[in-house]
Amino acid sequence: MNNLLTGVCNNIEQNIDKILLWKNSFEAVTNNDDVILVAYNPTGPDIKALEKHNIRYQGIRENSNETVNNMRLLPMADFLEDNKQYYNKVLYTDVFDVAFLKDPFLKITDEADIFVAGEGVLHREEPWNTDVMNKCFPSYTQPTKDQEVYCSGVIAGDIEVLSKYLRQMNTECLTSKKGHDIEDQAAMNIVIYKDIFAVKKFNLTDNWCIHMAVAGPTQFFEAWGFGDRIKQRYGLVPRWQDYDIVHQFNRTPEIHKILTKLYA
């Protein structure tokens, strides 16, 4: 079986260059694996753009007041369930800010069912994640404060288990106090805390995925002290070039320009 890269996005026509960077960079480092975009409420121009660039897609229609980050969980879970006979391993990512430098599936082994990547800092060290947890899931603020932050923008694993994993994240979101418009990452970290699934937690020394908003180089890397904490914890200053997956590259204009020139 081939492996599968997938993700959910809307506003496709106006973001087609970002989608192409995601797709083209993956195809440049993998061998015959598939890419299928889950298109959220695609318009006629969206579909034309996808077909023009030979991007395989599955359209979904949803009436929701939720942000894409929150509403995508169940449609993606359904999509994975519908395709479990065709794929074994799947990588589910954000689309507009993910690029690939090496084959990400080489480290997706049978040692676990789900694979996630840490940001390099703990919840109590990172203001944004702490704020979301406080506003949406306050009962978990203290239990997760010493847990590393794992980013919901890149998740991999067994396709059938990942479908169940996303459903569990959605179940957590249903309990949210709705204090923030992005809940899926906090929900994922709660699922990890509950230890429901066999999860492999990559850290920055594994060189699988770097989440650049925290791990740098961005303005927060130095100003919020992330660089010092990561160096003390892992003994390194992360270099985006060393990772299989580069997430949130658009937070740094120079790196965004390099990757766009290569792949978009």
Confidence check: pLDDT of 63 > 90 = no
Is residue 64 scored above 80 in pLDDT? no
| Cis peptide preceding 217, ω within 30 of 0 | yes
Domain count, the chain: 1
**Does pLDDT of 201 surpass 80?**
yes
pLDDT tops 90 at residue 241: yes
For range 29-47, the mean pLDDT: 96
User: What is the pLDDT, as a whole number, of residue 180?
Assistant: 92
Which tens digit of pLDDT belongs to each residue from 9-21? 999 999 999 999 9
CA distance 165 to 162: 5
Residue 47 CB coordination number (10 Å) = 15
Residues 120, 217 contacting (CB under 8 angstroms): no
In this predicted model, which residue has the larger pLDDT, 96 or 217?
A: 96
103 pLDDT more than 80? yes
CATH number of the structural domain spanning residue 242? 3.90.550.10
Percent of the chain predicted with pLDDT > 90: 90
What is the pTM for the complete model shown?
Answer: 0.96
CA–CA dist 232, 227 (Å, integer): 9
Domain that holds residue 167: 4-263
